[in-house]
Amino acid sequence: MQLYNTLSAEERAIMIDDAGKQRLTLSFYAYAQISNPTQFRNELFLAWNTLEVLGRIYVAHEGINAQLSLPADNFYAFKDSIEVYDFMKGIRLNIAVEQDDHSFLKLTVKVRDKIVADGLVDETFDVTNIGIHLKAAAFNQLLEDPNTIVVDMRNHYESEIGHFTNAIKPDVDTFRESLPIIEEQLAEHKQDKKLLMYCTGGIRCEKASAYFKHKGFENVYQLEGGIIEYTRQVKAEGLESKFIGKNFVFDHRLGERITDDIVSQCHQCGAACDVHTNCANEGCHLLFIQCDSCAAKMEGCCSTECATIIHLPEEEQKAIRKGIKNGNKIFKKGKSTVLTFKNNEETHGIFVASPSKPTLVKPPKIKKIYLGKGTHFFPKPSIGQFLIEENEIKIGDTILIKGTTTGEQQLVVSEIFVHENASEKAVAGETCTFKLPFRIRLSDKLYKVLD
């Protein structure tokens, strides 16, 4: 009886590509009394593994917190699998704003003390006495109330790339750090202000609202379903999005675009950018924001030291990183001294609030023509395969590869293979391959950049 993932991420990515099935990325949570979390965990793994579910799921005595993806064809079978349990009947499933077949590449179901690490002792207050849930329209309306204080309950690396206008954004690495800070900073407004909170999918606000009510805040509100559900309602009802930028997500995408506004900067040079990446040095893996120019110059690394390490033989790299425990370090992007612009140009106070009229940067327009789409990626040699549907591509062309997860990546083509044979060019109807310094997805589009 298999109860654990046995495939590597690379093997799973190839299987997903070969299957050719559209996958859905979704998240949900539920607070409940689970007497035997281990048994519950094993039941979920056995049921979901057969449905090709991949993701990161935490279960505890207090409930479940899940972020996952599955083939769209298996969606209703998946719903049936969770509605076997009474506390998940009719549960809201937050469907991702943007879909990516590679959002998750493993199925991990873990038993934890809590489904969210909040540092609270639940027995000391009523965790069911939560704040008032607001849908998108009501949330927008309350944002305009001068007696409202809106607080982002996410961490600094999440709120940096996207947030609600005028939100207070605690400069913290973890959710548990934000609770006492917010209580202290807003202590004078427990009765005279409306405390309005939001997070990614709603789970952090669920616990935080009960905590703040316990601490004496009288008017506590929370965004129902978080940013994900808010965006769905905004689109469905034709509302104005008060959220600007990107919504950070904890999967391979690292973000889904809500509006075209870019509200953050490259941590290495300061250029307008909101693309998160992990340092290419596996022994570092630091999470930070990096623009295309710095990605090319630094080879996807956070520092010159890491850029040197990635060129060492694999055995030497393994020896260097042996015993290294990164832990939460990978998320402390604003605190790393190697990120020169981020470290030198910004002071880190307890709160960073958006100005009433934030300065937004629109991405520059690139003149381009459509060539085709990605059809496969070979991880080991790092080779991308594309079907040319229109026009032609030749050696020396500057190309743009664009996708929701890949972002916008430019490079100059130095060699082309058509049907595994070296060629000067590839024309419409042909499948070509060339080396890439990054992974592509099947949803990625290929363009030729024009002068």
Q: Which residues have a catalytic role annotated? A: 199
Q: Taking a C-beta distance cutoff of 8 angstroms, is the pair 446, 426 a contact?
A: no
Residue 12 C-alpha from the chain's centroid: 19
**Pairing between strand 194-198 and 54-60?**
unpaired
- Distance, CA of 278 to CA of 290 (rounded, Å): 9
* Amino acid symbol at 252: H
- Distance, CA of 129 to CA of 241 (rounded, Å): 29
**Pairing between strand 148-152 and 194-198?**
parallel
- Distance, CA of 80 to CA of 76 (rounded, Å): 6
Q: Which residues contact 379 (CB under 8 A, 6 or more apart)?
A: 10, 13, 14, 439
Strand segments (E) across 13-104 = 23-31, 54-60, 63-71, 94-95
- Distance, CA of 192 to CA of 6 (rounded, Å): 55
